[in-house]
Amino acid sequence: MADTKLTKGGCIAVAALGLMAVCVLILWTCTEKVPADKIGVRTVLTSAGVEPIDHPPGYVLAIPGFHTVKLWDITWTNLKETLQVRGSDQYTTTVDVSILVRIQPGQCHEVATHYRDEEHINQLARNSLNKYANEILAQMRTEDFYNSKIRNEKAEEAQKAMDNQLKPAGLEVRYLLLRNIVYDPKFEQQLLQKQLAGQRKSLEIARGQLAEAQTATELIKRDAEAKVKRIDEGKRQEIENLNANTERKIAQTIQDAKLKAAAVTAAAESSRRQNIAQAELLKATAAAAGTAAMSRVYARPGAPYYFARKALEGMKLGEVEVNSNVFNPLDSDRLLKALGLDLHPLNAPVPVPQNATIPAEKTTP
């Protein structure tokens, strides 16, 4: 029983291995690998022909003797062509032209229906380029080739014309570029002369502009100098006016100060005089009062003898001889008179100033 089970398991394993081998053989012999940058187009080797399907990268069933698979490049192809374009001015210009061509996405089966291979497609694009280059680029004059705006416009026009022609065939054209432009030698000489003439004209224009600029600069300089002079003159006049005004104010201030000083001085002098007058009055009054007091003193009994004594004490006399035969030495009046002292004038009244006030004599009770 166990041997029977082992026999069945071995048969199944062998059958599985055989099936796998058959599958690998089928995949190896009945499939076609499509790379990542390609598109596969399968053709049935019967009356059906090319299948209207673009097979993406991967594996495509291709039974030997029944199917064929053709790979098509779907990336952009840079085609370069050197053309001699005879312009509208009858000068021949040599130019390198580059165009980018590719099969439109989803149109590989359509291309495979009409064209043998990719080289056939490139040749079709070159033919289209020669056609429209001679039709469109030939519309330009030679000097238009170095005018980037006109050159790019005509290149874009030619590219659109090629794209419209090849689009029904499943092709796409982009970015027609003009490079390495070589002009006709005759035109080169003419262009050189024209450029020299243009440069001379530009030089003359520049010289004229320089002269105009120098004239304008000189005018601006003179105008600036005049403005500076006017400003300086105005400033100077303004400063002089300010100085004159300041001096006038200073003089006025000094004059006012002098007037005020004179007024203060006059007031002080007047006050001084009044004070001096008052002092003189007080002095005179005091003198009058003193004189009056002395008069009262002189008028008292015994005063002449007192003053006579004082006078004698103040005199520096040597020996005085008195003749007692002539007068009595005890007679003081005669003695003083003999000595040159007369007391009677001392008893005369003393004049008193009009404004003086003589104090009243005190009487003893």
Looking at every residue in the chain, the average pLDDT score rounds to 78
What's the rounded Cα separation, in Å, for the pair 71 and 74?
A: 9
Range of the domain at 105: 77-183
346 pLDDT band (50/70/90 cuts)?
very low
What's the rounded Cα separation, in Å, for the pair 107 and 112?
A: 9
Residue 50 shares a structural domain with residue 81: no
Residue 89 shares a structural domain with residue 153: yes
Q: Are residues 178 and 97 in contact, defined by beta-carbon separation less than 8 angstroms?
A: yes
306 pLDDT band (50/70/90 cuts)?
low
Residue 22 shares a structural domain with residue 50: yes
CATH number at residue 174: 3.30.479.30
Q: Considering only 60-64, 162-166, 331-335, which range has the smallest mean pLDDT?
A: 331-335
Q: Is residue 98 scored above 50 in pLDDT?
A: yes
What's the rounded Cα separation, in Å, for the pair 139 and 150?
A: 11
Q: Report residue 60 as tokens.
A: 């495509």
Could you report the per-residue pLDDT of 215-255, keeping only the tens digit for each?
Answer: 998 889 888 888 888 888 888 888 888 888 888 888 888 88
pLDDT of residue 107: 86
Residue 84 shares a structural domain with residue 177: yes
pLDDT of residue 235: 84
Q: Are residues 31 and 62 in contact, defined by beta-carbon separation less than 8 angstroms?
A: yes
Residue 97 lies in a domain: yes
156 pLDDT band (50/70/90 cuts)?
very high
What's the rounded Cα separation, in Å, for the pair 342 and 295?
A: 16
Task: Indicate the residue type of 267.
Answer: A
Residue 85 lies in a domain: yes
Domain count, the chain: 2
Pairing of strands 58-61, 77-86: unpaired
Residue 164 shares a structural domain with residue 115: yes
Task: Indicate the residue type of 196.
Answer: L
* Total Cβ atoms within 10 A of residue 145: 22
Residue 173 lies in a domain: yes
58 pLDDT band (50/70/90 cuts)?
confident
Residue 86 shares a structural domain with residue 177: yes
Backbone angles phi, psi at 301, to 5 degrees: -65, 135
pLDDT of residue 162: 92
Residue 55 shares a structural domain with residue 141: no
Residue 150 shares a structural domain with residue 82: yes
Task: Indicate the residue type of 4.
Answer: T
Residue 34 lies in a domain: yes
Q: Considering only 225-239, 249-263, 340-354, which range has the smallest mean pLDDT?
A: 340-354
Radius of gyration of the chain (CA): 76
Q: Are residues 183 and 191 in contact, defined by beta-carbon separation less than 8 angstroms?
A: yes
Residue 158 shares a structural domain with residue 108: yes
Of 22, 49, 73, the domain-final residue: 73
pTM listed for this prediction: 0.45
Q: Are residues 71 and 39 in contact, defined by beta-carbon separation less than 8 angstroms?
A: yes
Residue 361 lies in a domain: no
Residue 21 shares a structural domain with residue 119: no
Task: Indicate the residue type of 346.
Answer: L
Residue 89 shares a structural domain with residue 120: yes
Answer positive or negative: Cα dihedral of 273, 275, 276, 280. Answer: positive
pLDDT of residue 161: 92
Residue 157 shares a structural domain with residue 68: no
Residue 329 lies in a domain: no
Of 166, 183, 200, the domain-final residue: 183
Of 131, 153, 183, the domain-final residue: 183
Residue 127 lies in a domain: yes
Residue 276 lies in a domain: no
Average pLDDT over residues 10-23: 67
Place of tokens 């400033």: 235
Q: Are residues 137 and 88 in contact, defined by beta-carbon separation less than 8 angstroms?
A: no
